[in-house]
Copies of this chain bind each other. A is one copy, B any other.
Amino acid sequence: MAKDMTLLWGSGSPPCWRVQIALEEKNLQGYNQKLLSFEKGEHKSKEVLEINPRGQLPAFKHGKIILNESYAACLYLENQFKSQGTQLIPEGAAEVGLMYQRIFEAQPLAQKIGEVLYYNWKVPEGERHDSAVQRNKEALKEEMKIWEGYLQGCGDFLVGKSFSLADVIIFPVFAYFIRNGGSEERYPNVAAYYKKLRDRPSIKKTWPPTWIDGPGMGTLKDI
């Protein structure tokens, strides 16, 4: 039981979701948690700001140790609970290297998805340009093609023969892509990977509750 841990989270946020998956995989159930609403601005509330002064979710702490960056939380949990639950860092040098490489390549992927999805939210009205929107879409298409290649002939997991931090961190990004209308037909390897992992217990149990009642907005449908 992880009663000394607290997670404030928002539904459908890949950074929040990966922390939830890591906690499940490390058998750290029973932590204190609270689902907050991005729409209502609850990520800027006092209880979040007390843990995460940037006013972002996740806001996560283990005792007095604060880990608000999702990658930091995942790496910390594996470091501190190595022999508990799923071993999330593989043994062999080649697998370790590939795992770290893929984890950090997922950052431009997530960023490019965000630049398409949140363009109107990030860029004030008078500064918007169709040419920028098109460029962002093209950049995301190129990035997705790279990942489609990586997943060619991939087994059940992103790295080697077992579930690792690469899956913890990257699965929510692909799920987010598909949820927002990303094409399963144009990226069949990504879709196959997604389908293989979506029923894994740690993932199914933490599936974003706001995703259960119907499809998303389809913003990424032409990517």
Contact = CB atoms under 8 A, between A and B. Distances in A.
A66 B131 CA distance: 35
A94 interface: yes
B100 A146 contact: no
Given A100-B76, A101-B72, A107-B107, A129 B131 contact: no
A67 B107 contact: no
Contact of A96 (B69, B76, B146): B76
Contacts of A131: 124, 126-127
Contact of A80 (B64, B96, B129): B96
Interface string A138-177: 0000000010000000000000000000000000000000
A196 B101 CA distance: 31
Interface of A: 53-54, 62, 64-69, 71-73, 75-76, 79-80, 89, 93-94, 96-98, 100-101, 103-105, 107, 124, 126-127, 129, 131-132, 146
24 contacts: A53-B146, A62-B93, A65-B97, A66-B101, A67-B97, A67-B100, A67-B101, A69-B104, A69-B107, A71-B100, A72-B97, A72-B100, A72-B101, A72-B103, A72-B104, A75-B100, A76-B101, A79-B89, A79-B96, A79-B100, A80-B93, A126-B129, A127-B129, A127-B131
